[in-house]
């Protein structure tokens, strides 16, 4: 069952993996009995995008994205679109570029620049549409604004680490997009996420870790990694009334469909 895992959103460039990054990736992706089928790196800035490109060259079943996260909007250089185009050329050369992201809006922390975030977001969605790539959307405390952009530009993609309502989930799916759930779905009191998951057809669901964050029970509080998706799949299976194996197979197929992986 575990060999069906597609982690559709991971951050193995995070400092939490500095001591054992490639040892862990080898164990998960390559070594005999490896438990993960595929991974998709979610880039957050230029450095992160370059990490994804390099690591995608190293592992056959590791894919990558390019993009600028909204939390870093104030630090993005003025020529960010030129940088994005250069990253696109480098990533395309690997044959492993599958998305533009992690992009979006984040109005959670005080002092955010809403205008700069929105401009950065719109420019990157338009770029993704131009290149025929799906987007990986980060949306926190900015649902109305984010949905406005998505409704207007209509990209293919996924709303990652979904924390919105069932009604918002239905609207996202209505745009032809997918919904990604992390280990937070398995948190005992996370009724809102469970209702949202229930509202989404299985063929529109993805599983992800957002590692090293949001490890599901019984690992909650620990550093997350892709193998833990097996626990999230069990909870999703209960919600959808199917087996965990069916959830893993369906979400794997969904991710392959969205990201153009044969």
Model confidence at 63, pLDDT cuts 50, 70, 90, reads: very high
Q: What are the helix and strand counts (H, E) for the chain?
A: 9, 8
Distance CA 99, CA 22 (A): 23
Length of the chain: 262
Q: Residue 1 pLDDT > 80, yes or no?
A: no
User: Peptide bond before 192: cis, by omega within 30 degrees of 0?
Assistant: no
Is 138 annotated to bind a ligand? Reply is: yes
Is 41 annotated to bind a ligand? Reply is: no
Q: Residue 157 pLDDT > 90, yes or no?
A: yes
Distance CA 183, CA 208 (A): 8
Is 102 annotated to bind a ligand? Reply is: yes
What pairs with residue 41 in β-bridges?
10
Average pLDDT over every residue of 131-160: 98
Average pLDDT over every residue of 190-215: 98
DSSP 210-224: -BTS-PPTTSTTSPP
Contact 28, 36 (CB under 8 A): yes
Rg (C-alpha) for the chain, rounded Å, is: 17
Model confidence at 3, pLDDT cuts 50, 70, 90, reads: confident
Distance CA 220, CA 108 (A): 23
Q: Residue 211 pLDDT > 80, yes or no?
A: yes
pLDDT digits (tens, 9 = 90+) for 218-239: 999 999 999 999 999 999 999 9
Which domains are seen in the chain, by residue range? 2-259 (3.20.20.140)
Model confidence at 97, pLDDT cuts 50, 70, 90, reads: very high
Whole-number Cα distances in Å, 241 to 136, 173, 237: 27, 20, 6
Distance CA 245, CA 205 (A): 14
Is 238 annotated to bind a ligand? Reply is: no
Residue 18 CB-density burial (10 A; 0-12 exposed, 13-18 middle, 19+ buried): exposed
Contact 64, 40 (CB under 8 A): yes
At 158 the three-state DSSP class reads strand
Contact 5, 234 (CB under 8 A): no
Contact 127, 100 (CB under 8 A): yes
Model confidence at 259, pLDDT cuts 50, 70, 90, reads: very high
Q: What angle do CA 135, 6, 171 make, to 5 degrees?
A: 40
Contact 187, 160 (CB under 8 A): no
Res 110: pLDDT:
87
Is 13 annotated to bind a ligand? Reply is: no
Is 9 annotated to bind a ligand? Reply is: yes
Global pTM value: 0.97
Q: Residue 247 pLDDT > 90, yes or no?
A: yes
Model confidence at 2, pLDDT cuts 50, 70, 90, reads: low
Question: H-helix or E-strand containing 8?
Answer: strand 5-10
């Amino acid at each position: 069952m575990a060999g069906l895992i597609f982690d559709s959103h991971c951050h193995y460039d995070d400092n939490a993996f500095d001591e054992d990054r490639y040892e862990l990736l080898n164990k998960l992706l390559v070594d005999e009995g490896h438990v993960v089928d595929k991974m998709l790196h979610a880039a957050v800035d230029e450095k992160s995008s370059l990490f994804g490109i390099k690591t995608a060259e190293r592992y056959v079943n590791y894919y990558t994205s390019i993009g600028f996260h909204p939390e870093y909007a104030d630090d993005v250089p003025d020529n960010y679109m030129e940088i994005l185009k250069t990253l696109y050329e480098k990533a395309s050369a690997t044959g492993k570029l599958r998305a533009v992201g992690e992009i979006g809006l984040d109005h959670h922390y005080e002092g955010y620049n809403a205008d700069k975030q929105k401009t950065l977001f719109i420019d990157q969605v338009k770029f993704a549409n131009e290149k025929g790539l799906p987007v990986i959307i980060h949306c926190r405390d900015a649902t109305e604004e984010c949905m406005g952009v998505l409704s207007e530009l209509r990209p293919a993609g996924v709303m990652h680490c979904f924390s919105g309502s069932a009604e918002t989930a239905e609207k996202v799916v209505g745009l032809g997009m997918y919904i990604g759930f992390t280990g937070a779905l398995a948190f005992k009191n996370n009724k809102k996420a469970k209702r949202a998951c229930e509202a989404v057809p299985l063929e529109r669901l993805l599983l992800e870790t957002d590692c090293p964050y949001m490890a599901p029970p019984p690992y909650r509080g620990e550093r997350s990694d892709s193998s833990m998706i097996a626990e999230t799949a069990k909870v999703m299976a209960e919600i959808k009334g199917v087996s965990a194996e069916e959830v893993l197979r369906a979400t794997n197929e969904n991710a392959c469909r969205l990201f153009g992986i044969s």
